[in-house]
Every structure is written in C-alpha cells, then in structure tokens.
Amino acid sequence: MKRISRLLVANRGEITRRIMRTAREMGIETVAIYADPDSHAPFVHEADEAIALGGSTAAETYLDVARVIDAARRSGADAIHPGYGFLSENAGFARAVVEAGLTWVGPSPEAIAAMGDKLAAKRLMMAAGVPTLPSTEVPADGRADLQAIAAPIGLPVLVKAAAGGGGKGMRIVRSTAELAEAVAGAQREALGAFGNGTVFLERYLEAPRHVEIQVLGDSHGNLIHCFERECSIQRRHQKIIEEAPSPAMTPELREQMGLAAVTAAQAIGYTSAGTVEFLLDTNGQFYFLEVNTRLQVEHPVTEAITGLDLVREQIRIAQGERLDVHQGDLAIRGHAIEARLYAEDPANGFLPATGTVLAWEEPKDSPARFDSGVETGSDVSLHFDPMLAKVIVHAPNRTEAALRLARVLERTRIHGVTTNRDFLVATLRHPAFLAGDTTTAFIEKHDPARVRRPAENEVRAAALAVALKSQDERRRGASLMRTLPSGWRNNPSQMQQTVFTHQGEEVKTGYLAQRDGSFDYEVAGVRGSARLHRADGDLVDVEIDGSRRVLAVAQRGSQFWVQGASGEVQLTELPRFPDSEQEEVAGGYAAPMPGKIVSIHVEPGDAVTRGQLLMVMEAMKMEHRITCVEESAKVTEVRVAKGDQVEAGQMLVVVEGSG
C-alpha cells in the first residue's frame, strides 16, 4: 500500500477547501494551486502550501497540465486530487500524473477515456445492456446535412458536447430551422470550455427526472452503489438543487437502477468514486445519460444519508485499500437537500454576476453544512464558475429538509453581489416542489419567484435601521443632536429626511428625536414610533411600534444591504443633489455583463423582428444570445466587432422599431 503524505488539489474554490478538510482529518498535508484572480481566496491561505500558477484564465492555469504537474514537483506532493471540472475528467492529465510517479486520486486513465467521449460511452453501455437514448454524431467539417442526421432521431433533439458537461455546449432544438445555429453555437462553446468541439444529437425528453447513482469501486474488484440522487431542478442545463433520495423512487426501481449503474461501472473496470447518470421518464423507464468519472458537486447529499465521507473513500482507494463497506451495510437515513448558491441574476435570465463579496456570514447555530468558496472580501471574477457555495441540510423527512434549507438560506448574509438565493428559497417552498413534482421542466412549468418582494414592514424597518444607524454614527462623532433647539419635536418640517430606492420605488424616510430617546418616524407615508437600542458595528437593534428586531447592515457607497430574519432588503440612498443624467440611447441593447463578442448576426440597415438573434457574447465559458425585443425594427448601429471585449452596460447595437 502506498500511503499519501502530501496531497495537491488541482482545483479551486469550495471543492478544494472540502477536499483539504478531509485530507487534514486523515493526517495528510495539503497543497493548493491558484490563478492570479484567486490569490486572496480562502482555499489559498488554508492550504499548508499554495503554488502560484501565473495567469488569469483557466487555460493559463488550472487547465495547463504541465504547470500543474510542475507545481506538484515543486511542492513535494506525492498525490493529486482533481476535484471536479477543469482536468478532473481528462485522461491525458491522469496519465501524466501517473507517469510523473504521483498517485492519482481518481479512476484509471483508461476508465476516464472510455467515458470521456459520450458517444463512445453510449455504445459501450448499449453493449453492456444498459438502456440508452438514440443519438448520432455531427461531423466536424461543417458541411453535414443536419436535417438528414436528425431525422432518424426525431424532434426535439438535444445538441450535446461529446467531451462536455455542466450545461456547456448544449442546445435544445425543436425545429429544423434552428439546427444549424444551435450546432455551431454548441461547437464553439464546447471548444472553448473543453478544447474539443465535437457534438452529437440525442433524443430530447421534454420533462424527465435527472436521477443519478453514486458508485464506489476499489482496485480489488469490489464495487457498490450508494443509492440515488435526484438533480432535476436545473437552469441552463445546470443543476441548482439536488436531493437524496429521489421522491420518485420505489424500492424496485432503486434496485433496477442501482444494478444498471454497477453494471455500467463494471463494464469499464471502474475504481474510485463516480456517478452513473440516468434520465427517468414519467412511465418509470430510465435511460443512460453519462458516467461522471469524478467526484460530483452534489456528493454531500449522499454523504448525509449514508454517513460516508466520499473524499476519504477516494483517498483510501487511491492508496490501494479495499472498501470497508459492503452493499448490505448501506441504508438510507433521512433526507438531504443541497442548494447551489450562485452569483447570478435570476431576474435577468440567470446571467452570471461579478463583484466583491461585501459580507459573508453563515447563520449562527445553523442546522446546515456549508461548503463555500468565498468569505467577506472575496472577489467574484468573470474568469471562473460563479458558484459561491453549496448549502446542505439533512432532516428526518423531505418536507422538513426543504423548509429547513429555505430558512437557512434566507438567514445567510451574502451582500455585495447579486445571487440566486431568493430564487432558491422560492423554489424550495413552492407547493409543487414540496409535493415532489421535480422534473427538469420545473422552472419553466412552475416559474418560482425570481425576486423576493419584502413586506412593507420589512422595507420600513430596513430604511429606519439604515437612517438611525447613520444618525447614531453622526451623534457619536459630533454630538449634533444636543445642539438642536427645544420645541422642534412637533414640527414635521424638522424631521431628518433621507430618500432611498427599493426595487425601483422611492422610500422617503424621516425621523425626529424625542426627549425620551425614542424617534417619531414617517416612512413611505406610514407614521409611528421607533427606538434605537443598539448600533454596534454592522448590527442594529431597533424597536418599531413595539416590535423589536436585530438587523445587519452592510454599506458600499450609497448602497445598503439589510439582513433580517426573513431575508435581505437592498436600498440605494438618493443623493441630495442628483448627478447629471447619463445619456440614454433609445433602442439600445447593452451588454448584460462583461464578456467577449463571439459572433454578430446583423448589420446596419437590416430589418429584424422579435426573437431574432442580433449577436452572441461569451462570459464565464457560457454563450449568451442578444435577441431583438421589438415586433419589427431596423438596425441603425452596430457598435462592436467580433472578438471585442466589452464591459457590463456597454452599448452593443441600436435598433429603431415600432415596439
């Protein structure tokens, strides 16, 4: 047995922190590698040693095999764990690690290669008797008759990257007119994300469940499954809520799918932790989707219901140890749900967001596990995946798990960047979710609220908390309140006035100090009495009309984030003397986020209609389509060129139309 003493994690963010946590528990030293934008990230300073790779992009750093192997040599690491994403399913990297004399914490390069090409994997599964969906490869020469290729499969079809995952290089096609553009876009995205532009067409199931089976295999021929996870709640073909067990599972179906997963893993001689993914239709028929030859993002829910530490099992298997658990030893305990907290804007098509995390704080005494990649002060850049953290709860039953997770999320402080937190809460509390109606069409079918609408009393409390906190800071600094003349308390015109905006509406806030230390207030036309009990750091203990609460306030310039028990309220203070308005362009289409223009589909003078593609930009390795919103219009200006790097808010194209 080869004992690992110093482990390099070839990844970043939350998964690196999670792997290092188990390594430390096993007495193993840890080494991190990092790109320039990650130089101050938590995973860097938590490692025993961190090696700078030099560079800003994934291609220059985490995807550079030679640099990663060199970092291992320089640090004295004797093993490499790839995490997920990046090089985790790159057979060439696994082979390079082994050839460098290092221990590879993962399946064999041969197993990775066998499953790395999704088309080849499907053929192998068919030979093993595992049910699969009809599919066919798209030739890379660009001259293929796409309609003829798609005909035997039938519409709708899914365009998929052969070497991909995570929703990248994937398009749904429901008409033959969409095929060419969908294939071209998928090929571009796949090439940028995986270095391989090969795509294929597969029959698309409109509303299946995404159910996957966790497997574990050692080098002594022992192979087990650790039950299922359901990962059907997705946007942009990427999972955002995962759970174990699946609400759709029966004991008979679990046994069938578990056997199929073990059969699939045996067909490639699988070792280490891996996942066999299936689609489950409404008739209870399941179809092989792919094998992920790595640790999954959602592995914590399996750990919660089985009591296993899957990273520990990976390390033990890599050291040549036998599995110390047998199939009959495993049992499902309770229910676990994981939510992925992303820096993204659900109200704007779930576009990724960037910025600096002004405040990050997990709820005190939280009944949840946080696998996070950020802390207060962390930068969220456009270079990498915008996932901030995974939040996992384990409860005796599914309903309690869902409601507990929703409560934990809304009490989490995450200020300074736009996130999907409120959307996750709305999904977890949606009646259809609680009823187990969790297909991949859930978001489109049920449309959970993408923005939380706080109650009026929440907004009122937030505005008063900010105003009274600011007043208290001024009083402490200059004792201004003592200089005010007597007899002013009944004169409304002497109220201290501040005007905020909240979700596009003005919130006029006034307050007037009383001799007993309380305040008369008027907020958005509502009058009452308030008392500031304490303003300590960013915490404000305020009583409003006899109701007392402690709120946390974070500020950046004129922006305020106020966290209460029910969630966050964002306020922007309007200046007393407004700045001159910026020029607005009628009919202008601006970049929703920083990115690169990859294609332009119109020219000045072109007539366009609603839904017509104007241009495509790439950000965070995903393509984003800029389409016409006018019923009929004419392009008057194209202000960018293919290949241009653009900033958020930069004007891209201008059209004139009837609306």
Q: Which of helix, strand or coil describes residue 311?
A: helix
Average pLDDT over residues 103-121: 92
pLDDT tens digit sequence for 325-374: 999 999 999 999 999 999 999 998 898 898 999 999 999 888 999 999 99
Per-residue pLDDT reduced to its tens digit, 49-62: 999 999 999 999 99
Confidence band, pLDDT 50/70/90 cuts, at residue 481:
very low
Angle between helices 118-127 and 251-267 in degrees, nearest 10:
110
CATH topology agreement for domains 456-573 and 588-657? no
The yes-or-no verdict on residue 493 having pLDDT over 60 is no
Residue 486 has pLDDT above 50, yes or no: no
Q: Tell which phi-psi region holds residue 271, choosing left (phi > 0), alpha (psi between -120 and 50) or beta.
A: beta
456-573 to CATH, choices 3.30.70.20, 3.90.1710.10, 3.40.605.10, 3.30.700.30: 3.30.700.30
**Which pLDDT score, from 0 to 100, does residue 474 have?**
82
CATH topology of domain 334-452: D-amino Acid Aminotransferase; Chain A, domain 1 (3.30.470)
- In the chain, where the domains are located: 6-105, 134-203, 206-332, 334-452, 456-573, 588-657
Tens-digit pLDDT profile for residues 598-641: 999 999 999 999 889 999 998 766 788 899 988 889 999 999 99
pLDDT at 581 over 70: no
Phi and psi at residue 567, to the nearest 5°:
130, -165
Amino acid at 217: G
pLDDT of residue 584 exceeding 80, the answer is no
Q: Please say whether the structural domain 588-657 has been given the CATH code 3.30.1180.20.
A: no
Span 192-201, average pLDDT: 84
Give the pLDDT confidence score for residue 538 in this predicted structure. 94
| pLDDT(192) > 90 | no
What topology does CATH give the domain 6-105? Rossmann fold (3.40.50)
In angstroms and rounded to an integer, the radius of gyration of the C-alpha atoms of the chain is 27
* CATH node for 134-203: 3.30.1490.20
pLDDT tens for 122-141 read 889 999 999 999 888 898 87
Query: By the 8 A CB rule, do 232 and 437 touch?
Result: no
Residues 10/79, Cβ–Cβ less than 8 Å: no
pLDDT at site 583? 47
Whole-angstrom distance, CA of residue 279 vs CA of residue 185 = 24
Cα angle 383, 387, 391 (rounded to 5 degrees) comes to 165
CATH 3.30.470.20 applies to domain 206-332:
yes
Predicted local confidence at residue 621, as pLDDT = 65
pLDDT of residue 457: 96
Position 578 scores a pLDDT of 52
Angle, helices 398-411 vs 421-428, to 10°: value is: 160
Q: Half-sphere exposure of residue 611, counting CA atoms within 13 Å on the CB side?
A: 1
Contact status, residue 136 vs residue 201, Cβ threshold 8 Å: yes
Model confidence at 646, pLDDT cuts 50, 70, 90, reads confident
Please give the mean pLDDT across all residues of the chain: 91
List pLDDT tens digits, range 531-552: 999 999 999 999 999 999 999 9
Sheet holding 199-203, edge to edge: 135-137, 199-203, 157-161, 171-173
Whole-number pLDDT of residue 381: 87
- Digit-coded pLDDT (tens) for 293-319: 999 999 999 999 999 999 999 999 999
